[in-house]
Amino acid sequence: MLIIESYTTAIIMCIITMICWGSWANTMKITGSKWTFQLFYWDYSLGVLLLSLILAFTAGSFGESGRPFLTDLTQADLYYIFLAFLAGVIFNLSNVLLVTVIDLAGMAIAFPIGVGLALVVGVTLGYFVDPAGNPVLIFTGLAGVILAIIIDGIAYGKIPSEGNKSVVKGILISLVVGIVMGVFYPILVTSLSQDLVNPEVGKLTPYSAIVMFALGLFLSSFIWNFYLMRRPIVGVKVSFKDYFTLGTRKDHLAGLLGGIIWMLGFSFMTLAQDQAGAAISYGLGQGATMIAAFWGVFIWKEFRTAPKSVNKLLVAMFTFFILGLSLLVIAKL
């Protein structure tokens, strides 16, 4: 299987993860007005599973290092397979809520607060699972991210809305997203062999873990996403019939593309953790908050109705995010 052998390559892959994770939600923005986020999510889930299988049977099955995908999967203990699957189920709950917040409040609030908090939780737990890197730099970087999250929440609160409920609801759901999303990656890392050249018996290599994760995400959509179809937090009820009758080819392709983009970033992050460490790879990947905030602020103009004083807050938010992420990058140099 293909493995990453240098820290520099691992960091580049984490930066690609950041871009992918911060950009995939744009595919939801380009769908038709009748295509709700719940309907979009079925194609997204399928795109995630599809790319995981493609990678497993290509990069995960060829090469002289490690174990090929099918060999690795057949030797794995059920406990570690379950952990990778469970990580997908947990992540999917947070991600369904994330797209709810995107639909309710926009990318510039969902990512900085929801995914930003997930970064803090995930990096902290990831460091205790795999303590790689300078802890002073890592946790100082996290402090910068926390400040950016607080500033973004303050800025969002200044946007005129149809009532305080939408502001409060967007922030509260984002906080739930952050806590739940921050838990999944340390669980996934526990299922992984820390030596990929000579993998531990019973544990998974990244490609096998990615497939089980994607399977957990896809199957749990029949729980989490179906529930939101029938009892939506925002918007109207939709049915499986709507999926087959309301969507255009463009809508379905947008969802598939969104899932593929997300899974490409996730795969790169998981492969990079062998060289970068779980805390740094996850932390940089969740730097997607900055990318998504850029899309939300400058492309989708989600703060266009806010007073001009908010501009200073947005500059401060980006500054603290960049500072925090920079410290994470140099934490293992």
Long-range CB pairs of 129-132, under 8 A, 24+ apart, other chains included: 129/186, 129/189, 129/190, 129/278, 130/189, 130/194, 130/273, 130/277, 130/278, 130/279, 131/277, 131/279, 132/276, 132/277, 132/278, 132/279, 132/280, 132/332
Give pLDDT, residue 283: 79
Residue 194 lies in a domain: yes
pLDDT bucket at 164, cuts 50 / 70 / 90: very low
Between 166 and 192, the more confident residue is 192
- 59-85 per-position pLDDT tens digit: 999 887 889 999 999 999 999 999 999
Domain hosting residue 190, numbered range: 7-330
Any domain includes 258: yes
Q: What is the mean pLDDT of residues 88-106?
A: 90
pTM comes to 0.87
pLDDT value for 124: 87
Least confident of 90-99, 164-173, 298-307: 164-173
Check pLDDT > 70 for residue 161: no
Q: Which residue shows structure tokens 């730099």? A: 137
Question: What average pLDDT does range 192-218 have in this prediction?
Answer: 95
**Are residues 111 and 284 in contact, defined by beta-carbon separation less than 8 angstroms?**
no
User: Hey, how many other C-beta atoms are within 10 angstroms of the C-beta on 196?
Assistant: 21
1 inside domain: no
- For the chain, what percent of residues have pLDDT higher than 90? 54
- Give the pair of three-digit tokens for residue 176: 């739930």
What pLDDT score does 155 carry?
85
Note whether residue 2 is domain-resident.
no
Q: Is the pLDDT of residue 222 over 60?
A: yes
Cβ atoms 68, 1 nearer than 8 A: yes
CA–CA gap between residue 281 and residue 11 (Å, rounded): 7
**Mean predicted confidence (pLDDT) in 189-206:** 92
Handedness of CA 181, 187, 192, 193 (dihedral sign): positive
The runs of H, that is alpha helices, within 106-248 are: 107-109, 116-129, 135-157, 164-190, 206-230, 240-245
Would you say residue 49 lies in a domain?
yes
Write the DSSP string, 169-204.
HHHHHHHHHHHHHHHHHHHHHHTB-S-SSSPPTTSB
Query: For the segment 34-52, what is each residue's pLDDT rounded down to a tens digit?
Result: 899 999 999 999 999 999 9
Mean pLDDT over residues 171-194, rounded? 91
Question: For 279-299, what is the mean pLDDT?
Answer: 83
What is the reported pLDDT for 271?
93
Q: Is residue 42 part of a domain?
A: yes
| C-alpha to C-alpha distances, 150 to 74, 155, 186, 312, nearest whole angstrom | 46, 9, 25, 14
- The CB density around residue 163, as the number of other CB atoms within 10 Å, is 8
Q: How many domains does the chain have?
A: 1
Asked, for residue 243, whether it belongs to a domain, the answer is yes
**258-286 average pLDDT score:** 89
Residue 301 neighbours by CB distance under 10 Å: 11
Q: Is the pLDDT of residue 265 over 50?
A: yes
pLDDT of amino acid 333: 64
pLDDT at 290: 80
